[in-house]
A and B are shown apart, each in its own frame.
Chain A
Amino acid sequence: AQTVTQSQPEMSVQEAETVTLSCTYDTSENNYYLFWYKQPPSRQMILVIRQEAYKQQNATENRFSVNFQKAAKSFSLKISDSQLGDTAMYFCAFMKPSSGGGADGLTFGKGTHLIIQP
């Protein structure tokens, strides 16, 4: 079974600063997918960024980027120029391809509550 660990229960930074959220995972799989989801107070789960394990290039989406270290099983999220609207819970998630096609369900970390201060 896979496990995902987010070691920072809560983080707080000033608006416009850069912040990095950490995530480590444990798996024996060689091919898999990693995701960061954002959950604002509305509780809607919003996909922020995704990465395939066999791609060495780190994914980027505007102000969001990841540092994917496959050997270390680390998948951190960097948010640049943080904005008040970035305040939310952030969940790291792991997913492996299913033997029958498609993929299994997501395994989530416990989350990091990110607070952006004005």
Chain B
Amino acid sequence: DAGVIQSPRHEVTEMGQEVTLRCKPISGHNSLFWYRQTMMRGLELLIYFNNNVPIDDSGMPEDRFSAKMPNASFSTLKIQPSEPRDSAVYFCASSLLSSAYNEQFFGPGTRLTVL
């Protein structure tokens, strides 16, 4: 079975440009999470969705960040305009709401570099 799919795996862009990160959760999963990993701040939850509805976006750092989940099989995280401090690895994870541990399965991550 396919795991969580993220694209692109690597993204290099210049400051001020728009960046869109994409995630396809595991088929049948109905919770989706976006995390960011940096050396300074570690792994942080940005936002998560249940049944395509955003539940908690308190981790989204600024208005420059936005996330959408138009359907059960696709989500995007957009940064506009991007800044060098946004450079990080962005992970998407999915889980099944009814599962015993609500175990989250992570994608391979997108390494974003903003020059």
A-side residues, CB < 8 A to B, are: 33, 35, 42-45, 47, 50, 52, 91, 95, 97-98, 100-111
* Given known contacts A103-B102, A105-B45, A45 and B55 CB-to-CB distance under 8 angstroms: no
CA distance A109 to B37 in the complex (A): 12
Chain B residue total in the interface (Cβ 8 A) = 26
Per the 8 Å Cβ criterion, residues 17-60 of B in contact with A are 31, 33, 35, 42-45, 48, 50, 55-56, 59
* Given known contacts A50-B101, A95-B102, A102 and B91 CB-to-CB distance under 8 angstroms: no
Sort A-B residue pairs by CB-CB distance and give the 7 closest, nearest first.
Answer: A105-B45, A45-B106, A103-B102, A102-B97, A108-B43, A110-B42, A105-B48
CA distance A95 to B50 in the complex (A): 15
Docked-complex contact A43 and B108, CB < 8 angstroms: yes
- Complex interface bits, B75-105 against A, C-beta within 8 A gives 1, otherwise 0: 0000000000000010101010100011111
Docked-complex contact B95 and A111, CB < 8 angstroms: no
Q: DSSP class of B's interface residues: helix, strand, loop or mixed?
A: strand
B-side residues, CB < 8 A to A, are: 31, 33, 35, 42-45, 48, 50, 55-56, 59, 89, 91, 93, 95, 97, 101-106, 108-109, 111
Residues of B within 8 A of A45 (CB): 91, 93, 106, 109
- Nearest neighbor of B43 in chain A, beta-carbon distance: A108
CA distance A106 to B35 in the complex (A): 9
CA distance A102 to B55 in the complex (A): 11
